[in-house]
Amino acid sequence: MNGLRSPEQDGAFATLRQFVRKRPNVERCELCAIALPHEHQHLIEPIQRKLVCACEACSILFSHQAGLKYKRVPRRVRWLSNFKMSDAQWEAMRIPIDMAFFFHSTPETRVAAFYPSPAGATESLLPLESWNEIARENPALNEMEADVEALLVNRVGHPRRSGAAVYAVAPIDECYKLVGLIRTHWKGFGGGTEVWQEIEKFFGELRAKAGVPKETEQSHA
């Protein structure tokens, strides 16, 4: 055979291709393999800080259970409109940029601080005294669930009074989602227009999840 197809065969293959579709990329529960919707539950493995996609049924198994490998990440978002933090307190925490998240790490028995960068989540050594002072003034921080909830801070533009500071207690997966979109969309030295649009969109969606009207502004404390 010379490998050539007849016009009839070409027509048959063309018809067949109309019914062939690439299988969509479907996220699956990493515990039971069931297909997941776009918005789904996550578990976290605190030692490795690894997020695991999970269905509702599997995630319930890890709700409020001490001593298990995974912890269920909650969905609630609390918008801290009256959060108290001065510029001096923020500077004392030695975060190199004006955006970061803080959470109680059970394996390390301390508060961990991370900030997003084009390379991913970068840890910053947090002076404990600074955190304790801020926690005393903001009782909501003492109510955060260890490993799975974080204080998410966005002070970009705040010191120049060109924007309101944002403080929220958010699920840890939302914090890593922010890290991921910055890593994906960052271009050049300053990030580019696209990444800042994505950041603005992210915090707008986070505000909506907290049930806060768009016009509500954060404190400039």
pLDDT tens readout for residues 49-67: 999 999 999 998 888 666 6
| Mode of pairing for the β-strands spanning 99-105 and 110-117 | antiparallel
Matching residue, tokens 């269905």: 55
Show the tokens assigned to 117.
Answer: 């960068």
pLDDT in the model for residue 63: 80
Would you kindly state where each structural domain of the chain is located, as residue ranges?
7-73, 78-209
The b/e string for 20-32 (b: 16+ C-beta within 10 A; e otherwise) is eeeeeeeeebbbe
Whether the CA torsion 105, 91, 185, 207 is positive or negative: it is: positive
Q: How many helices (H) and strands (E) does the chain have?
A: 6, 9
pLDDT in the model for residue 214: 73
Are 152 and 175 in contact by the 8 Å Cβ rule? The answer is yes
Query: Is 170 exposed, middle or buried, given 0-12, 13-18 or 19+ CB atoms closer than 10 A?
Result: buried
Which of 159, 191, 137 is CA-nearest to residue 151?
137
pLDDT in the model for residue 220: 42
d(CA 78, CA 68): 26
Which of 138, 166, 149, 167 is CA-nearest to residue 75?
149
What distances in angstroms separate CA 91 from CA 27, 95, 99, 122, 126, one per listed residue? 40, 7, 12, 17, 11
Question: What are the mean pLDDT values of the chain's consecutive 10-residue runs (221 residues total)?
Answer: 54 51 74 92 93 93 78 95 93 91 94 91 85 94 96 79 81 95 88 91 95 63 46
pLDDT in the model for residue 67: 66
d(CA 139, CA 151): 12
